[in-house]
């Protein structure tokens, strides 16, 4: 019993001498445990919530893509494809299709133009002026030019007439040029259907039409003058030319064939 009493006294003394340090140790241990528990709880919460956040982000992304595709479909716009999924073979095959469509459209335009044009043999022409033809169309062959004293082609016809005689449009058309040429004097050009252009040379300066005017067959456009230096040695006349698609054609033959 004496020993037990002695041990209790020693323990009490020890407690009284070191009580502060013991309490501090217990507090530190408790604080450490509390910190560990808090950190462990936070880590567990993060590990359980992170997959849900990633999954939510993925779902939101797909939802946005679906909404965009739906909107483009409703507007009739093409849906953009991933660049990695695009096929070079498909792009190469689409080029002939586009070329074919362009060719088809061009052929259709040509057909529509042909439908709206009148064949040359069905067009009606009249003489630009009454009179004798003193020089014919040479059709590319050389002939003696009395004024220039050389051999050259004669690309029109010369119809003899008095100065001031009225000159008429040979068929319906639109005046495209009125000008003065150093060799051919006062000139009027009229554009007609099917690429036909009529040219009236050596007119008086006071013409009756201007560029852009529409004229009808037989309408007076001016008068015979004596302004063409290239043919001044001839009696007064009208020098008249007819072109089709930029090439000279025989005016007399064209006029005569249109009457048949």
Q: Which two tokens stand for residue 48?
A: 């359980």
- Cα 249 to the center of its chain, rounded Å: 36
Q: Which of 20-29, 65-74, 210-219, 236-245 has the lowest mean pLDDT?
A: 65-74
* CATH level 3 topology of 124-258: Glucose Permease (Domain IIA) (2.70.70)
The model's pLDDT over 34-44, given as tens digits with 9 standing for 90+, comes to 666 666 665 55
Sign of CA dihedral 68, 73, 75, 76: positive
pLDDT of residue 108: 56
Confidence category of residue 30, pLDDT binned at 50, 70, 90 = low
Q: What is the mean pLDDT of residues 160-185?
A: 97
pLDDT of residue 146: 87
Is residue 48's pLDDT more than 70?
no
pLDDT cut 90: percent of the chain above it: 48
Is residue 70's pLDDT more than 60?
no
Where in the chain are the domains? 1-80, 88-116, 124-258
Residue from 179, 183, 182, 181 nearest 147 by CA: 183
Confidence category of residue 167, pLDDT binned at 50, 70, 90 = very high
Is residue 176's pLDDT more than 50?
yes
Distances (CA, A) of 224 to 8, 172, 221, 230: 155, 20, 10, 15
0.75 exceeded by the pTM? no
């Amino acid at each position: 019993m004496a020993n037990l009493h002695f041990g209790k006294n020693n323990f009490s003394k020890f407690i009284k001498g070191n009580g502060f340090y013991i309490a501090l140790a217990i507090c530190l241990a408790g604080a450490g445990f509390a910190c560990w528990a808090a950190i462990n709880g936070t880590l567990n919460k993060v590990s359980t919530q992170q997959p849900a956040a990633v999954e939510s982000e993925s779902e939101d992304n797909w939802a946005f893509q679906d909404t965009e595709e739906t909107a483009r479909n409703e507007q009739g716009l093409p849906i953009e494809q991933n660049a990695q999924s695009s096929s070079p073979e498909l792009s190469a095959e689409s080029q002939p299709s586009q070329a074919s469509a362009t060719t088809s459209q061009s052929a259709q335009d040509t057909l529509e133009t042909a439908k709206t044009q009148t064949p040359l043999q069905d067009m009606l022409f009249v003489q630009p002026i009454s009179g004798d033809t003193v020089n014919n169309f040479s059709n590319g062959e050389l002939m003696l030019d009395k004024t220039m004293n050389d051999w050259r082609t004669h690309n029109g016809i010369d119809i003899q007439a008095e100065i001031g005689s009225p000159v008429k449009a040979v068929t319906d058309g639109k005046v495209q040029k009125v000008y003065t040429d150093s060799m051919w004097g006062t000139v009027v050009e009229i554009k007609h259907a099917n690429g036909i252009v009529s040219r009236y040379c050596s007119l008086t300066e006071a013409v009756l039409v201007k560029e852009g005017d529409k004229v009808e067959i037989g309408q007076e456009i001016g008068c015979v003058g004596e302004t063409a230096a290239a043919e001044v040695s001839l009696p007064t006349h009208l020098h008249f030319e007819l072109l089709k698609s930029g090439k000279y054609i025989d005016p007399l033959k064209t006029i005569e064939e249109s009457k048949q």
